[in-house]
Structure 1
């Protein structure tokens, strides 16, 4: 039976706990990876969380699997991963994917605006020069 987006989101939100900025900061201080899964143009237009690592959601499977030539060594199954996107939806789905791939500690921070509103430091958007 085909899944709907609502069903996928329900499963993702059930599997990946949402955490506060304060909790995320404490986990990052302890070694967790803050992972931004937005697309590159979003980072240019909206800035990014200071210290975040960027992997677009469309490449996550390839970057997360050590068996591929595209593996990103920042992603390790023994390291907590805190995901964010623009609003939290893609982060939840990406978190569920990582859980399905065997990553144990995976959390959803929500969106970049949650990070900023919670006091997380962020860079400014790239000035397009116009």
Structure 2
């Protein structure tokens, strides 16, 4: 089966029209009270790899519903118009598509270009959930 539009093309098109933040630049902004970092990875990814301290978890499948004030699932954190939102996933693909969709909805946001994949390499702090299960090994 040949797809009409492969996902790599969708991501490239999204990246061409959204704001991308480099990892060191986001690390430098941590602690900014006007910044909200939104982690759209699956809860299991967060448990396994950790997460950016202070980040808000919004599972990818719920983001549009949580952002829309007319949705019964709206989360008030997304109603803060004086804040800057930066979304991230593991490698930047899901967050690029997410931010492009949010932009289409009229919600202003950016995304972490390389995702969480280079966060620790650049010296970014990582936290783990208290209920993290340690793998034997």
**So what's the TM-score if we normalise by structure 1?**
0.85
State the Cα RMSD in Å. Answer: 2.3
User: Any residues of structure 2 matched to 1:1-40 within 5 Å, and which?
Assistant: 2-28=4-30, 29-40=32-43
Runs of 5+ consecutive residues of structure 2 not aligned to the other structure:
none
Structure-2 separation of matches of 1:74 and 1:115: 24
Runs of 5+ consecutive residues of structure 1 not aligned to the other structure:
none
Larger radius of gyration: 2
Change (3 A) 1:7 1:109: closer
Match of 2:70 in 1: 67
Structure-2 separation of matches of 1:15 and 1:77: 23
Structure-2 separation of matches of 1:113 and 1:121: 13
* Residue 120 (structure 1) aligned with residue 127 (structure 2): no
Structure-2 separation of matches of 1:40 and 1:124: 11
Q: How many residue pairs end up in the alignment?
A: 130
**So what's the TM-score if we normalise by structure 2?**
0.81
**Moved beyond 4 Å, runs of 4+:** none
* Residue 85 (structure 1) aligned with residue 80 (structure 2): no
Cα deviation, 1:81-109, whole Å, max 9, x if unaligned, reads 11111111111111111111112242334
Work out whether residues 91 and 113 of structure 2, in 8 Å CA contact, stay in contact via their aligned partners in 1: no
